[in-house]
Amino acid sequence: MTATHAPAGVLYIVATPIGNLGDMSMRAIEILNSVDLIAAEDTRHSARLLQHFGIQTRMASYHDFSDDTRVDQLLRSLLEGQSIALISDAGTPLISDPGYRLVSLVRARGLRVVPVPGVCAAIAALSAAGIPSDRFTFEGFPPAKQAARLKLFESLQSEARTLVFYESPHRILECVDDMAQAFGSERPAVIARELTKTFETIHGDTLSGLQQWLRADANQQRGEFVILLHGAEESPHDDVPPEARRVLSVLLEELSVKQASALASRLTGVKKNLLYALALEAAGSAKDSPSRAE
């Protein structure tokens, strides 16, 4: 491909395919051909991609843990007017991949950073999972250690937005087990596996259904995974302030639902009907408990 030379001093952030080379964009090829240098997470890995597209641009390795000398070299090259493209092993750089340190330093120097968008596994999964996509939170890889993983999941229990995680094949089972424990086995979720590749599988079920599905076929535990978890059902009582909740729960230890919610309303100024509904929910049933019924 013939390419004009990229403008001076620009850092391009170039997305590359996550499995299907047909997903490489024309603009990505053009930019990789035209820059002075490609900074790659793993130069040996990226050499195959460049070879496939006949790109002969010089490469240097870059990782967020690269020493200051490497980062200084890249910054100096940009300041001298060279253009650089950053790529990762697959998908969009900086999305659970290196690049944040470099991009923030380059921008701090007032230099241009230009995205060349393309594939991202999280977005590809979200686009085809059939799970709410209007609001979502990307959580990247959950912690490898179980205690930290459970703690994270528990902190996200009442998150109403769709939750998007990356996971490796070594931990997919444990991760889904911990999700079932923290979010409840009935929470709907989708596993998007091997996207854009031969064995692409997008499978939705409750978390307990997914636990069984993974265990029933070891092949489903191989490859690369995005896990998408339905957000928590939003409760109409979510906007009751924490202090009113606390007062209500103390009063509920001594009084009926009706008495407790009326008194909590007088003490906190929160509407009685909101507190009444919350008290019923807290009691775990739409009915007042017999011992405290009026």
Which of 12, 14, 19, 156 is in the footprint of ligand SAM by CB under 6 A? 19
Tell how strand 112-116 and strand 162-167 pair up: unpaired
Question: By CB under 6 A, is residue 18 in contact with ligand SAM?
Answer: yes
Q: Is 197 in the site for ligand SAM (CB under 6 A)?
A: yes
Backbone angles phi, psi at 231, to 5 degrees: -65, 165
Closest CA to 189 of 201, 197, 179, 181: 179
Does residue 136 belong to the site contacting ligand SAM (CB under 6 A)? no
The binder of ligand SAM chosen from 120, 176, 179, 229 (CB under 6 A): 120
Q: How far is the CB of 17 from ligand SAM (least distance, A)?
A: 9
Amino acid (1-letter code) at residue 40: A
Beta strands in the chain (DSSP E): 10-14, 37-40, 59-61, 84-87, 112-116, 136-140, 162-167, 188-193, 201-206, 225-229
User: Measured from the CB atom, is 96 or 211 closer to ligand SAM?
Assistant: 96
Tell me the C-alpha distance between 195 and 127, whole Å.
11
Query: Which residue shows structure tokens 């265990």?
Result: 215
Residue number, 32 or 247, with CB nearest to ligand SAM:
32
Report 22-61 residues binding ligand SAM (CB under 6 A).
Answer: none
Q: Interface with ligand SAM by CB under 6 A: which range of 31-39, 54-62, 194-202, 208-216?
A: 194-202
Which residue number, 141 or 254, has a Cβ lying nearer to ligand SAM?
141
Longest dimension (CA), the chain: 84
Q: Of the two residues 11 and 18, which places its CB atom closer to ligand SAM in the complex? A: 18
- From the list 144-152, 156-164, 223-231, 272-280, the region that binds ligand SAM by CB under 6 A is 223-231
- Min dist. Cβ of residue 224 to ligand SAM (A): 4
Closest CA to 84 of 25, 189, 177, 11: 11
Question: Could you tell me if 166 and 226 are in contact, meaning their C-beta atoms sit under 8 angstroms apart?
Answer: yes
Q: Which residues sit at the interface with ligand SAM, rule CB under 6 A? A: 18-19, 88, 90-92, 95-97, 120-122, 166-168, 192-197, 224-226
